[in-house]
Amino acid sequence: MSIFSGEDRKAWVEAFISGIPYAQASGMSIIEMGQGFASLLLPARDTWTGDTTRKLIHPGCLSVLADTACGLAVVCSLDEIEPIATLDLRMDYLRPPVADTDLVCRAECYRLSRSVAFVRGELRQPGQSEPVAVVNATFMRATANTRRKDAAGSAKPTPAEAASSLMSPASIEPSQVFVSRPADLPETRPLPLGRSPYVEFLNIHQQPQLDAGPVFRMPYKPELIGNPILPAIHGGVLAGFGETAMILHLIATNPGLGGAAPRGVDFAIAYMRSAKPIDTFAQSTTVRQGNRVALTNVSIWQDDPQRPVAQA
């Protein structure tokens, strides 16, 4: 039997979102929810601008919002509390998102198997009749063994109590936070200050260019956390960092661009392991370069380049 009904579900979802440090730091709020769906608002901020010349929101902001909204949609489809994790996420960018304008993502969990949840959604901006992007994502559910162990317990917490125990910033103990690895090489800013506020928000640094292209470093800071229990960096932040690394890679390796930032057409990321609260690195390679379109891969790692936390 489902433990969720009406106010119980609302209490669980609100506790869930309030326990995500990145969601709180960015001001995300739930504007609609129901069985199997949720709508999440990302309020406008100068920080989200990716290109001040064209006055566009950075695509990474759309990925973070989409990943969070899709996770909420899965939560809204569950009968009982259980942990979830993003397996992969794909974004298709339909039109440029205008800077200094709110973003809303409505996500729907359309298939829930014993081990995987499938989600799709749309991202829109107020005043526009067409979406700016669509998202498709899959999430891993708790294992059947975990669910059996939970079911064996004699007493179950209320939804709000369960949410608080799973997603609480207070759960991060000082001993769990790793010391960031210092940069191995001299670094520079990848773009002039003021060019891309979102790149500055992530505080991305560029290391000297190697044969395959430059390496980028994203220093750890507490507001990047998406799972405070492990703790782990938000999967959407990793996506945003990966997208940024690909854009900066193309700028650095294509003098013909004249420093202009290319726009993303689509983006897909696969998560391989949790990203610890330490500095994160990324390096891109250009698979194919055409006259108008480039296909680029990026590997994202922390301790060891041979053990990436994600690839996109």
What does pLDDT average to in each consecutive run of 10 residues of the chain (312 residues)? 60 83 94 94 96 93 97 90 90 96 98 96 94 97 54 50 43 39 68 91 85 87 91 95 94 82 92 95 92 93 94 96
Q: What is the pLDDT of residue 260?
A: 81
How would you write 52-66 as a 3-class SS string? CCCCEECHHHHHHHH
Q: What is the pLDDT of residue 258?
A: 78
Q: What is the pLDDT of residue 185?
A: 64
Q: What is the pLDDT of residue 158?
A: 52
What pTM did the predictor assign? 0.85
Dist CA 30 CA 25 (whole Å): 14
CA-wise closest residue to 288 among 299, 280, 296: 296
Instruction: Decide: 297 and 285 in contact? Cβ < 8 Å.
Output: yes
Q: What is the pLDDT of residue 155?
A: 53
Q: What is the pLDDT of residue 304?
A: 92
Q: What is the pLDDT of residue 211?
A: 65
Instruction: Decide: 83 and 142 in contact? Cβ < 8 Å.
Output: yes
